[in-house]
Amino acid sequence: MEQIQLALLFATGFLISRVMVKTRLPQKLVLLMMGRGHNSLSLTLLYLLITAATVSLFIPNAITMLTLLPVLDLLNRTFQDRNSKVPTMLTLAVLYGSNIGGMGSITGTPTNMVLIGYLGAHQVAGIERITFLSWLMYGIPLVIILILIAWIILSVGFNAWHAEAEAVHLPFAPEETEHPLQHTALGILLFYIVSAALLSYWLMIFPDQSIAIVVLTLLIILGLVWYLFLHKIANNQTLLLYSDAYTGIPIRGLEWIARVLIFAGIIYMMGIQTWLNQITHSLIPTGTSPFMLLLTAAMIATFATEVLSNTMVQIAMFIVMLPMAYTAGVSPIQALLVITFTCTCTFMTPIATPVNALAFGSTKDMSIWHFMGVGAIMNIISALTITTYVINFINW
């Protein structure tokens, strides 16, 4: 039932992204970022990281990436005369923010839901203390820490701090950012974020009512689709036309997502998860400190996810780490949480996640070497940060 609900919410999030594009909200966001007339690349990177992370707290990170692609295109044109690395660094900022933000809420990514389901199925002590609110309390500070780390790594890796603030020449006039239905679009976005968070949360805490909650999800989505395509709002027109659902879609990015999904399916049919189970068990040291145990698991998870499905890696490592955590005297929730978070923090390759594929495939002049080099550094520091944070601050 969780997968059905996620598919419904993902499809709805896609339609919401089309509403935002049609009502020129990406242009409005760029104007707000550049409103002072002068701006630095490093500050723009921070804006993008914060924006992507905030949005992906509540809607699927792939939809966040898709929604912000028009913003990236506008910003790339704004800064096109400054630095040939601009397309890569700005795209990575949105990619990093989208992947990081999903860790902040329990409904932020499917891997979080997999964790809750696995803990419940194995009756792990302490799961009753994991709630929507408690996850936010622990998750948002971690997101903030990782966003600051990502900003520093991107700024240093691309030498963005040395680029002085200069006059910004926007590729559109300020009046072109206005649209009479922008407030309506923002209201729809807020409704979607709140309803998606609540429906996902209800499905998690009321599993015996899963069918009723999925039916409620479907009814709300059908009502929203009616409002978008059939309800006349202004000048006897609807908010979206059917052609708006596919006009301007980044086909190259979607092709990369299709390649990732096909690759993941082939890997699954080959039974790689069993091999990963064995490799994980042999690589994780026994008789070591809890920190080194979890850090090793974190490193394996984050780099394995670069070439394998994150859910496949997550479950394979759960099978190994849960009994190992009991034996080593480590909190099983902490152990599985480290794996869950690091399976989300994949920054190194275009095939790691649909977000990575969409980002790489939709951006012209993307440098694969900077993508992988800076991403590898981000992987290592993120794994170290997540392990340290979970061990010292999360005590479910």
**d(C-alpha 175, C-alpha 173), whole Å:** 5
Q: Is the pTM of this model over 0.95?
A: no
Our CA dihedral for 238, 243, 247, 249, rounded to 10 degrees, sits at 90
Structure tokens at 308: 């394998």
From first to last of its 396 residues, the chain has per-residue pLDDT tens of 666 776 677 678 778 878 877 887 777 776 776 665 556 778 888 888 988 888 787 777 777 787 777 777 777 776 665 556 788 888 999 999 989 998 888 767 778 878 888 888 888 888 877 877 788 889 999 999 999 999 999 999 888 766 554 555 566 677 777 888 888 888 988 888 788 778 877 876 787 888 888 899 899 999 998 998 888 876 777 888 888 777 766 565 556 556 655 655 665 566 665 666 667 667 676 677 889 999 999 999 999 888 887 777 888 889 888 888 888 888 999 999 999 999 988 898 887 777 888 888 777 777 888 889 999 999 999 999 999 999 999 887
Say if CB 254 and CB 66 are below 8 A apart.
Answer: no
Inter-residue contact 102 to 56 (CB < 8 Å):
yes
Comparing C-alpha atoms, which of 345, 310, 389 is closest to residue 153? 345
